[in-house]
Amino acid sequence: MLETAFANLRFAASMLFGVPFHERSLDRIVDGMRATIEELGALGDEANALVGGPVLDEKTRHDIQGRRFRSQAMRAARETAYYPEVLAAAGVDPAKLTYKDIARVPVTAKDTLRDNPEAFVRRTAKIATRVTSTGTTGWPTSVYFSEYELHVIGAFAAFAYMTERRLDPDDIVQIAITTRATLGMLTVTRGCAAVGMAVHPAGMLSPDHTLRLLTEKHHLPGKKPKVSVLSSYPTYFGQLVERGLELGYGPSDFGLEKVLTGGELLTDGLRRRSEQLFGELSFLQNYALTELDPMTGNLCLDGHLHFEPSAGIAEVLDPESHQPVAPGEPGVLVGTVLPPYRETTILLRYNTEDVVRALAGPFTCSLRNLPATSHVLGKLRLSARHDHGWTFMRDVQEALETVQAVPLPARYGFWAVPGGVAVEVRVRSATAQTRRALEAQLAERGVPVQQLRLVEDPAELDRPVPLRCDLQEATFDRVADHSPAVAPVPATAARGQAGTGLAVARGT
């Protein structure tokens, strides 16, 4: 008990003052939280408050963030190849920075990091791992991490899974993301293992293969009989829904309860349509980016994306002027990970190219004490600026995936034309009824459609939005022949698995 108390004190000191986390103390806190759940079945408000950090008024928050940003900027100026010249050219003395001066620091472009990732690594860093983004919208971006950083990321994943009873030790978790997403795989695996869950990092295999894995019946001591938690991308989850319904599966075939998802847009239409296959599910969404981990955004029930101020600074800036936008206006999310969370790859005011809307408090939601933006609207480079303003991916995708005539996930493209946007979308059948349904949904969401093109073959799309589900991995197993005979397959599914079962990887 005394050791746990000291661990809590060390943790609180790191959260408040920015000193490095004591790794063994993090482990003791995880063990203590897990023991509490196993004994009492729930964590108290004190645990949630500890992990969430102190409640700060705006002035105190700005003071703390200003000091930590100054410390990070001094590191960047002393120990990276990129920032000394950039800060000097901007007339910025890192040692004299205050919170108000942060806006004077130039924004770091994604392409700059992508072109020379090692220019952002501290000379004294103890490098353990190089990870990359998936490269869905271009060449993958590389970021380097120390073992300390990976330990912190795993511990905070465990904290997140245990607070508010999100996941339980008796859960079986299947990870269905591309194994190229090293950091995502590592984060979920370490976090789940720390909680005591059974984890299967299966990767993103063919939907037929994954569906069979989800139907397997297990006989593990202290665990649920089937996979109860799936970690995946929304588009791949959409593929599972589409294929599962084609094969005749239904809610009775699965034990799935929760879906951990991120990296893409999760639409209300996909959530509703997934109930036909899996029944009612809980979706746990957050915002995480390889370049900014472990600075993550947590989605509250009101749809706000909240950021823990001790971990980083989130700004919403105009994509051209890099000035703050007014509340309600769209802008790019710009983030800085602060000490003690980041020590290897230093990024000051990193432009994520993810579009959100700025929000003004006060908030009334469960995370009301944390600064927030809107949920992500899409990537800037995949958005369309036209005569009436902007159209974002969320505007279009929310409309399309509501319509049953659009196979999941929606395969579509859109771009600016005089008077609004042109939209193309794959449909099951290009009928007049389908066109009317799509036009109505797009109009309801304020999309100024000037041209709407329906295709039945996705290869006919001219400018398709890239989807992460297309990063599938191959397997030599024939699913129908080699899957364990522990879960019955619907007759339609058996007929549908007469092929080789090989998934062909296709990059975007």
Q: Residue 240: give its domain's CATH number.
A: 3.40.50.12780
Are 157 and 257 in the same domain?
yes
Residue 3 is predicted with a pLDDT of 55
Are 357 and 437 in the same domain?
no
- Choosing from 381, 396, 412, the residue where a domain stops is 381
- Choosing from 342, 363, 381, the residue where a domain stops is 381
Residue 137 is predicted with a pLDDT of 66
Q: What share of the chain is helix, strand, coil (3-state, %, to 5)?
A: 40, 20, 40
List the domain range (segments joined by +) for residue 508: 145-294+474-508
Read off the pLDDT of each residue in 95-117 and give the average, rounded to a whole number. 96
Are 377 and 425 in the same domain?
no
Is a pLDDT exceeding 60 seen at residue 486? no
Are 164 and 281 in the same domain?
yes
Is a pLDDT exceeding 50 seen at residue 41? yes
Are 400 and 366 in the same domain?
no
Read off the pLDDT of each residue in 329-354 and give the average, rounded to a whole number. 97
Is a pLDDT exceeding 70 seen at residue 498? no
Q: Quick one: tokens of 120?
A: 């952002």
Are 161 and 258 in the same domain?
yes
Report residue 180: phi and psi, to 5°.
-65, -25
Per-residue pLDDT tens digits for 133-154: 877 667 789 999 999 999 999 9
pTM of the model: 0.89
Residue 500 is predicted with a pLDDT of 30
Residue 177 is predicted with a pLDDT of 93
Are 64 and 156 in the same domain?
no
Closest CA to 394 of 408, 412, 371: 412
Residue 51 is predicted with a pLDDT of 52
Is a pLDDT exceeding 90 seen at residue 33? no
- Look up the CATH number of the domain holding residue 442: 3.30.300
Domain count, the chain: 4
Cα separation of 38 and 16, whole Å? 29
Is a pLDDT exceeding 70 seen at residue 318? yes
Residue 271 is predicted with a pLDDT of 97
Are 241 and 230 in the same domain?
yes
Contact 131, 183 (CB under 8 A): yes
User: In terms of pLDDT, which residue wins out, 313 or 486?
Assistant: 313
Is residue 65 one of the residues assigned to a domain? Answer: yes
Is a pLDDT exceeding 90 seen at residue 7? no
Q: Where are the alpha helices (DSSP H) in 80-233?
A: 83-89, 110-115, 147-162, 182-195, 207-215
Residue 337 is predicted with a pLDDT of 97
Closest CA to 240 of 202, 285, 188: 202
Are 299 and 273 in the same domain?
no
Per-residue pLDDT tens digits for 398-407: 999 999 999 9
User: In terms of pLDDT, which residue wins out, 188 or 336?
Assistant: 336
Per-residue pLDDT tens digits for 436-466: 999 999 999 999 999 999 999 999 999 999 9
Are 271 and 324 in the same domain?
no
Q: Quick one: tokens of 322?
A: 């890099």
Are 341 and 443 in the same domain?
no
Cβ neighbours of residue 458 closer than 8 Å, sequence gap 6 or more: 411, 426, 464
Q: What is the mean pLDDT of the chain?
A: 88
